[in-house]
Amino acid sequence: METTNFPYPPSIKDKKKKKKNQTPESEFHSDLTLCTKNNDLRSAISLYETAILQGLRLNQHHFNALLYLCSNTVTDPSLKTLALDHGFRIFDHMLSNNVHPNEASITAVARLAAAKGDGEYAFGLVKSMGKLRTYDPALMCFCENLEAEKAYEVEEHMGVMGVSVEESELAALLKVSAETGRGERVYGYLHKLRNSVRSVGESTVKFIEEAVSSNGGGWHGLGWIGKGDWVVKRANVDSAGRCRGCGEQLARVDIDDAETERFAQSVAALAMEREVKANFSEFQGWLEKHADFEFIVDGANIGLYQQNFADGGFSVSQLDAVVKELYTRSGNKWPLVVLHNKRLPSLLENPSQRKLVEEWMDKGVLYMTPTGSNDDWYWLYAAVKVQCLLVTNDEMRDHIFELLGSSFFLKWKERHQVRYTFGKGNVKLQMPPSYSSVIQESENGSWHVPIAADSNNECKESSRTWLCITRPSACEASDEVPTNVETSENGHPTYNLAPTNPLKLESVTSSNGLHHSTESFRFSEEVPINKATSLTGKRKERSPSPSN
């Protein structure tokens, strides 16, 4: 057996051959990198101890690698004590050597503090960094320790620093609120979930089930509706948007006028950065004068649909079929077809196609985007600005669409995209669904929460599972209606109630030709519950406390 004393762990010794003329510093660096790659805390600690004995000076990268290993293995029961003891020791060594900790350093130590149950220390570290984005260790520690007020303080600090609260953090806040009996907080976090995610993961579903069962729900800031136990179950939704669990009709959720205008401005600003500014400005001016459209058509997407065969090319006949179908559907109003001008020469070569294209131009159906442009910006801006439907099979997953923000953009897309297929020469349009797959709260206080598919499967709406949460006694109604919602000093909503007549649940049509029910407009309200807003609707019975 080999008895030679070797300053490094055998696992490292066996895996590499020492390079000639390698300095102790470079050797320590390469060995530590190997430990990090293999998640080998014990070997890394041995390297660290040897480095101290040799008097090596560690830099920020070395300290961060060691702290990362400690924080990454602290959840392993067999390594927790080692990780905690050495983690804080390494951090103290880092500070005593005047090596400035960065975000990675603070995040790792905050995780160690949270694992030790010291949320105050973790939160203090976060606040000391100013712009640190990782509040999770402190927030989760307070939630696990049922220190609700401290958890709320962390969330408030996140808001001040402009850090978004993600689903996992909202789920933890929802859970601690339920377990500590803070009913209005449960209600508030359900709405924050509604505003930030479209569907929730299985772990969040379990928290919602627990929170609502013990604390209840509400209706648009009015408080707790009805009395008695909640019925929480899983159900599917039929094609018309009716819940098979309780029979409730789900709503269609769209962005409001103010959000639409901000969205249009955002698209225009991004387009101006990437397009020739004069060209896009010209399009904006043209659109202002020709804004009476109910449909915008992605011409290239339709013309090239299923044309990847030997004799395939740009199919004018497919585009013509879509244009005629939309013309008929909208009561003899022409759609706007956006097409890049590089397509024009080939279209004009064929006499029959030329006649059709010239007719479109005469009627204002066709807008040709200029050379060097990306027509995606043009048809997207037109659809948003005019607030009409967009006909395209483009899933809009390219980098330009990623710039727009996933949650906000997806909600708009669901309500405004029209897909199409062709069969035997006929076009079939798939209009936006009759309901939105988002977290919803109904007039009677029930909740419907779409559950996200696992990462390995893409969930089809027809097979999606929903969490259906109802309270039977909530169907009893009074004639009170809220006229104003204000925010109290403690940040909780307060309500001024006044009598009014019940809303008539009749269908209405918006100015852009989209058909909605009155329910749709109620659900399109996306103002956080801690902001003042005006509400109308039939007042349902409100329990005096969440425990009823």
Q: What is the CATH number of the domain that holds 153?
A: 1.25.40.10
* Residue 265 and residue 194 share a domain: no
What pLDDT shows up at residue 385?
94
What pLDDT shows up at residue 155?
94
2 against 135, higher pLDDT:
135
- The residue among 367, 389, 388, 387 whose CA lies nearest residue 378 is 367
- The residue among 181, 196, 119 whose CA lies nearest residue 154 is 119
**Lowest mean pLDDT, pick from 231-235, 314-318, 348-352, 447-451:** 348-352
* Residue 216 and residue 282 share a domain: no
- Encode pLDDT of 275-296 as tens digits: 889 999 999 999 999 888 999 9
The label of the residue with tokens 């560690």 reads 58
Q: Would the pTM of this model clear 0.85, i.e. be above it?
A: no
Which H helix or E strand runs over 73? helix 60-73
What CATH number should be reported for the domain holding residue 412?
A: 3.40.50.11980
What pLDDT shows up at residue 442?
84
Distance CA 121, CA 108 (A): 12
Number of domains in the chain: 2
* Residue 186 and residue 94 share a domain: yes
What pLDDT shows up at residue 294?
95
296 against 203, higher pLDDT:
296
* Residue 194 and residue 151 share a domain: yes
* Residue 272 and residue 207 share a domain: no
Distance CA 127, CA 149 (A): 17
- The burial of 395, by beta-carbon neighbours within 10 Å (0-12 exposed, 13-18 middle, 19 or more buried), is given as exposed
In this structure, is residue 286 part of a structural domain?
yes
- Encode pLDDT of 83-118 as tens digits: 999 999 999 999 999 999 998 999 999 999 999 999
pLDDT confidence band for 400 (50 / 70 / 90)? low
What pLDDT shows up at residue 131?
59
Question: Which residue, of 371, 399, 430, is where some domain finishes?
Answer: 430
Q: What is the mean pLDDT of the chain?
A: 78
pLDDT confidence band for 399 (50 / 70 / 90)? low
Q: Which long-range contacts (CB under 8 A, 24 or more apart) does 513-516 make?
A: 513/294, 513/330, 513/388, 514/254, 514/387, 514/388, 514/389, 514/415, 516/252, 516/254
* Residue 423 and residue 281 share a domain: yes
* Residue 331 and residue 276 share a domain: yes
- Encode pLDDT of 436-479 as tens digits: 888 998 877 788 999 987 655 555 676 899 999 887 655 443 33
- Statement: residue 45 has pLDDT above 80: yes
What pLDDT shows up at residue 347?
84
Q: Are 469 and 217 in contact (CB under 8 A)?
A: yes
- Statement: residue 250 has pLDDT above 50: yes
* Residue 262 and residue 223 share a domain: no
Which H helix or E strand runs over 284? helix 277-289
- Encode pLDDT of 323-366 as tens digits: 999 999 999 999 999 999 998 888 888 888 888 988 898 888 99
pLDDT confidence band for 398 (50 / 70 / 90)? confident
Question: Which residue, of 430, 448, 481, is where some domain finishes?
Answer: 430
541 against 202, higher pLDDT:
202
What pairs with residue 428 in β-bridges? 421
- The burial of 480, by beta-carbon neighbours within 10 Å (0-12 exposed, 13-18 middle, 19 or more buried), is given as middle
What pLDDT shows up at residue 307?
79
In this structure, is residue 517 part of a structural domain?
no
CB atoms inside a 10 Å sphere around CB 128 = 10
**Lowest mean pLDDT, pick from 196-205, 345-354, 484-493:** 484-493
What pLDDT shows up at residue 328?
94
Question: Which residue, of 430, 462, 494, is where some domain finishes?
Answer: 430
In this structure, is residue 209 part of a structural domain?
yes
Structural domain that includes position 163: 24-227
- Statement: residue 516 has pLDDT above 60: no
* Residue 263 and residue 144 share a domain: no
CB atoms inside a 10 Å sphere around CB 494 = 12
In this structure, is residue 213 part of a structural domain?
yes
- Statement: residue 528 has pLDDT above 70: no
* Residue 192 and residue 308 share a domain: no
pLDDT confidence band for 530 (50 / 70 / 90)? very low
Buried b (16+ CB within 10 A) or exposed e, 219-229: bbbbbbbbbee
- Encode pLDDT of 125-155 as tens digits: 888 776 566 898 999 999 999 999 999 999 9
What pLDDT shows up at residue 393?
95
- The residue among 470, 475, 416, 408 whose CA lies nearest residue 438 is 408
* Residue 261 and residue 222 share a domain: no
